[in-house]
């Protein structure tokens, strides 16, 4: 195994008002998932936040569950946790790529998500990365979500979605009265 390299870690964000995160975990490898969750919970609590947790069957369901929660709940951010260990088939590539793509697409829509889906070659790698006393990737994913929430609060009120917003009825009426046929 390669020698551990030191990485810069951003200082923990501070919040004027509390944050609430949803931890979405795929406990396919239960012991590994439990360690990821422990790290995430500790990081959220250290920042003064609260959390709820839901379980889904596997890593592919993580983005879907986050999308549902965003539409139907009131969370400030999300922590996606799971583990995919390479097997004998290409299913590993599909699960790694598609779960990551789903999380990325949700993030591009403005959701504050920390991606803690481990994609590893073997169980030993997963155990080190999940352990809160070692690599603590669950804590790192929670920290990422917290930093994104802090950015969103710094830059103003949240808006749902990204891109063009439909004109309001008030604007449409005002535009039509000014002789604008496209309003």
Active site residues: 91
Q: Measure the CA–CA gap between 33 and 51, rounded to whole angstroms.
A: 16
Bridge-partner residues for 20, per DSSP? Answer: 50
Q: Measure the CA–CA gap between 24 and 121, rounded to whole angstroms.
A: 23
- Main-chain dihedrals φ then ψ at residue 51, nearest 5 degrees: -145, 155
For 4, left (φ over 0), alpha (ψ -120 to 50), or beta? beta
Q: In sequence order, what DSSP letters do the residues of 135-182 get, joined into one string?
A: T-HHHHHHHHHHHHHHHHHHT-S--SSSS--PPPHHHHHHHHHTT-TT
Q: Which of 160, 144, 135 is nearest to 78 (CA)?
A: 144
- CA dihedral over 140, 141, 146, 148, signed as positive or negative: positive
Helices (H) and strands (E) in the chain, counts: 6, 4
């Amino acid at each position: 195994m390669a020698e551990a390299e030191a990485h810069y870690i951003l200082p923990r964000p501070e919040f004027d008002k509390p944050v609430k995160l949803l931890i979405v975990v795929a406990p396919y490898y239960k012991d590994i998932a439990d360690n990821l969750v422990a790290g995430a919970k500790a990081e959220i609590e250290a920042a003064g936040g609260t959390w709820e947790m839901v379980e889904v069957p596997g890593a592919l369901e993580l983005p879907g569950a986050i999308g549902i929660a965003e539409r139907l709940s009131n969370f400030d951010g999300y922590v996606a946790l799971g583990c995919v260990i390479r097997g004998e088939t290409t299913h590993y590539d599909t699960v790694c790529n598609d779960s990551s793509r789903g999380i990325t697409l949700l993030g591009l829509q403005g959701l504050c998500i920390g991606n803690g889906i481990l994609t590893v070659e073997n169980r030993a790698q997963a155990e080190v990365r999940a352990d809160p006393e070692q690599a603590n990737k669950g804590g790192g994913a929670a920290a990422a979500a917290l930093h994104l929430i802090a950015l969103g609060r710094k830059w103003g009120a949240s808006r749902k979605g990204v891109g063009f917003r439909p004109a309001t009825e008030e604007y449409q009426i005002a535009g039509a009265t000014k002789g604008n046929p496209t309003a």
